[in-house]
Amino acid sequence: MAPVRRLVIKCILLTLLVILILWAVLPFFWMVSTSFKTTEETYTVPLVWIPRYPTIKNFLYVVKRAPFLTYFRNSVVVAVSTTVIAIILASLAGYSFSRFKFLGGHSLLLIFLITQMFPGALLIIPLFQIIKALKLLNTLYALVLSYITFSLPLCTWLMKGFFDQIPQELEEAAMIDGCSRVSAMVRVIFPLALPGVMAASIFSFIGAWDEFIFALIFTSTDKARTLPVGLQRFITSYEIYWNHLGAASVLTTIPVVILFLFIQRHMVKGLTAGSVKG
Amino acid sequence: MSLITRKFKEIRKNRLAYFLILPATLCLAIVLFYPLFKVFYMSFFEIEPLYYKEPIFAGIKNFQKILSDSRFKGTLLQTAYWTFGSVALQFIIGLAAALIINEVFWGRGLARALLLVPWAMPAVVGAFSWKWMWHGEYGVVNHILKTLHLIPHNINWLGGISTAMAACIITNTWRGFPFMMIMLLAGLQNIPKELYDASSIDGASVGQELRYITLPLLKPVILVTTLLAGIWTFNNFAYIYILTGGGPGGKTDILVTFIYKQGFRFFHFGYAAALSVALFFMILAFSLLYIKIMRLESPFS
Q: For the residues B3-19, what does the mean pLDDT come to? A: 83
Distance CA B147, CA A146 (A): 47
pLDDT at A174 exceeding the cut of 50: yes
pLDDT at B19 exceeding the cut of 50: yes
Q: Which residues of B touch A263 (CB under 8 A)?
A: none
Contact B140, A30 (CB under 8 A): yes
Task: Give CA separation, A211 vs A225, B96, B247, B290, in Å.
Answer: 11, 30, 22, 24
Contact A157, A112 (CB under 8 A): yes
Does A102 contact B11 at a Cβ distance shorter than 8 Å?
yes
Over the stretch A98-132, which tens digit does the pLDDT of each residue have? 988 888 888 888 888 888 778 888 999 999 999 99
Q: Which residues of A touch B10 (CB under 8 A)?
A: 102-103
User: Does residue B285 belong to the interface with chain A, where contact is any CB pair within 8 Å?
Assistant: no
Does A27 contact B133 at a Cβ distance shorter than 8 Å?
yes
Best of A48, A125, A245 to disrupt the B interface (most B CBs within 10 Å) is A125
The alpha carbon of residue B178 is apart from the nearest alpha carbon of chain A, in Å, by 9
pLDDT given at position B200: 82
From the list A13, A27, A260, the residue facing B130 with the nearest CB is: A27
Query: Three-state DSSP class for B235?
Result: coil
Q: Calculate the average pLDDT of chain A.
A: 87
The chain A residue lying nearest B140, using CA atoms, is A47
User: How many contacts does A have with B, using Cβ atoms within 8 A?
Assistant: 239
Q: What pLDDT band is residue B42 in, cutting at 50, 70 and 90?
A: very high
Does A123 contact B39 at a Cβ distance shorter than 8 Å?
yes
From the list B103, B132, B178, the residue facing A30 with the nearest CB is: B132
Give the max Cα distance, chain B.
85
Does A212 contact B123 at a Cβ distance shorter than 8 Å?
yes
Which letter, b or e, does each residue of A189-204 get, where b requires 16 or more Cβ atoms within 10 Å of its Cβ?
bbebbbbbbbbbbbbb
Does B118 contact A231 at a Cβ distance shorter than 8 Å?
no
User: Does residue B235 belong to the interface with chain A, where contact is any CB pair within 8 Å?
Assistant: yes
From the list B114, B256, B273, the residue facing A21 with the nearest CB is: B114
User: Does residue B266 belong to the interface with chain A, where contact is any CB pair within 8 Å?
Assistant: no
What's the distance, CA A47 to chain centroid? Answer: 33
pLDDT given at position A2: 65
Over the stretch A153-162, which tens digit does the pLDDT of each residue have? 989 988 998 8
Q: Which residues of B touch A124 (CB under 8 A)?
A: 259-260, 263-264, 276
Query: Three-state DSSP class for A148?
Result: helix
pLDDT at B298 exceeding the cut of 60: no
Chain B, residues 184-223, CB within 8 A of chain A, namely none
- What interhelical angle do B15-28 and A105-115 show, nearest 10? 20
The alpha carbon of residue A274 is apart from the nearest alpha carbon of chain B, in Å, by 23
Over the stretch B177-229, which tens digit does the pLDDT of each residue have? 999 998 898 888 888 888 888 888 888 887 888 888 888 888 888 888 898 89
What's the distance, CA A125 to chain centroid? Answer: 24
Does A28 contact B121 at a Cβ distance shorter than 8 Å?
yes
Over the stretch A1-36, which tens digit does the pLDDT of each residue have? 567 887 888 888 889 999 999 999 999 999 999 999
The chain A residue lying nearest B132, using CA atoms, is A242
Does B24 contact A156 at a Cβ distance shorter than 8 Å?
yes
The alpha carbon of residue B38 is apart from the nearest alpha carbon of chain A, in Å, by 6
What is the amino acid identity at position A258?
I
Which one, of B74, B56, B68, lies nearest residue B269 by Cα? B56
Q: Which residue has the higher pLDDT, A189 or A238?
A: A189
Distance CA A269, CA A14 (A): 34
Which one, of B250, B87, B38, lies nearest residue B165 by Cα? B250
pLDDT given at position A218: 94
Poorest-pLDDT segment among A49-58, A197-206, B61-70: A197-206
The alpha carbon of residue B219 is apart from the nearest alpha carbon of chain A, in Å, by 22
Q: Which long-range contacts (CB under 8 A, 24 or more apart) does B86-89 make?
A: B86/B169, B86/B172, B86/B173, B86/B176, B86/B229, B86/B233, B87/B176, B87/B226, B87/B229, B87/B230, B87/B233, B89/B169, B89/B170, B89/B173, B89/B177
Q: Which residues of A touch B279 (CB under 8 A)?
A: 121-122
Q: Which residues of B touch A253 (CB under 8 A)?
A: 121-122, 125
Best of A82, A117, A136 to disrupt the B interface (most B CBs within 10 Å) is A117
Cis peptide before A46 (omega within 30 of 0): yes
From the list B25, B96, B273, the residue facing A16 with the nearest CB is: B96
Q: Which residues of B touch A47 (CB under 8 A)?
A: 138, 140, 143
Q: Which residues of A touch B276 (CB under 8 A)?
A: 122-126
Q: Calculate the average pLDDT of chain B.
A: 89
Q: What is the ipTM score, two decimals?
A: 0.87
Task: Give CA separation, B263 vs A9, A214, B273, B275, in Å.
Answer: 54, 14, 8, 10
pLDDT given at position B104: 66
Contact A155, A200 (CB under 8 A): yes
From the list A122, A246, A257, the residue facing B276 with the nearest CB is: A122
Does A117 contact B129 at a Cβ distance shorter than 8 Å?
no
pLDDT at A55 exceeding the cut of 70: yes
pLDDT at B158 exceeding the cut of 60: yes
The predicted model scores a pTM of 0.89
Does A96 contact B129 at a Cβ distance shorter than 8 Å?
no
Over the stretch A56-85, which tens digit does the pLDDT of each residue have? 999 999 898 778 999 999 999 999 999 999
Phi, psi dihedral angles at B57 (to 5 degrees): -65, 130
From the list A108, A110, A122, the residue facing B279 with the nearest CB is: A122
Q: For the residues A242-256, what does the mean pLDDT come to? A: 92
